[in-house]
Amino acid sequence: MNVLVTGAAGYIGSHACKRLLAGGHRVVALDDLSRGHRRALELLDAGESLCIAEGSVGDEPLVTSLLAEHAIDTVMHFAALAYVGESVEQPLRYYTNNVAQGLALLGACDASGVERFVFSSSCATYGDPPEGLVPVPETCPQHPTSPYGWTKLVYEHALLGWSHARALSSRPVAVALLRYFNVAGADSSGVLGEDHDPETHLVPVAIRATREGAAPLSLFGTDYPTHDGTCVRDYVHVEDLVDAHILTMTSIKRGKAVAYNLGVGRGHSVREVIAAVERATGRRVPVVEKRRRPGDAVALYADASKITRELGWKPRYTDIVETVASAARWFEANPRGYDG
């Protein structure tokens, strides 16, 4: 397939490009490089199978040109602003970037006859699941608690409307909404890893805290009603995640719109992740305990049985220590991330 990957220079997008290229697909990697790393794409060294394009998904003429020039039949859409706290402070920026620019992308896809659209959505569309709905199924009511979550849900609805309209016009498309939970790890070859600025994800923050002279890890909340008092989350390995995207891309039929949760299906507490980092690195994670942060759910992990049942996807990385170790290896080899 000829695949346009948006947000291609980001953490998940770059891993997706790598796996797509390994599978024999041709990839156009689009990123505005505001938060991604061009170096991550350059390291793929894929020759003519990879075209790197710098620009915004909201630049409809640019996107239309790329779709036509490379005969794109499939879009894998990762590009988004994705900090929950930042979205609370700057909601209009998030709606402009994640919704308005995303709609421009969709307009170009519609005009160009794109056949498949795989959307990187989020468990943030569920908000705080009702009691008894954890692990979270796809049928869980969607009530986001942040502007970030709302932007993902609004875009889901736009895609469903587009899919319905295209079916009525006898130009059916295949649409997939992939809602995932916490993503961690690095690719097994050691080429790619996770490099955000600022970094907010627990695994890389904990790994960095093990370094000499580094600031301790802030542990927000130790009095939750869990087995050790800390929040519980689902951590899916980034390679498993992108494999699910590619499997969905190649499996969904035109005229269908599907939604799948992606996760390991069980949770790990913050303290368990810290312990996994200490086992993987052989170093202690210094911790400063702080009060709870507003809005943090007690436990949030996926019921991913639907995609297993319908497509046969199962995560290969089910041991949190193994997932953390893959991230730690990349950080050891790249202490300054992609900057050297």
List, by residue number, the catalytic residues: 148
Q: How many residues does the chain have?
A: 340
Question: Across the beta sheet with 232-233, what order do the strands follow?
Answer: 268-269, 232-233, 299-300
Ramachandran region, residue 33 (left: φ > 0; alpha: ψ -120 to 50; beta: rest): left
CA 14 to chain centre: 11
DSSP state of 170: T
Half-sphere exposure of 78 (CA within 13 A, CB side): 26
115 exposure class (CB count in 10 Å sphere: 0-12, 13-18, 19+): middle
290-322: b or e for each residue (b if 16 or more CB lie within 10 Å)? eeeeeebbebbbbbbebbeeebebebebeebbe
CA atoms within 13 A of residue 267's CA, in its CB half-sphere: 21
Phi/psi zone of residue 60: left (φ > 0), alpha (ψ -120 to 50 degrees), beta?
alpha
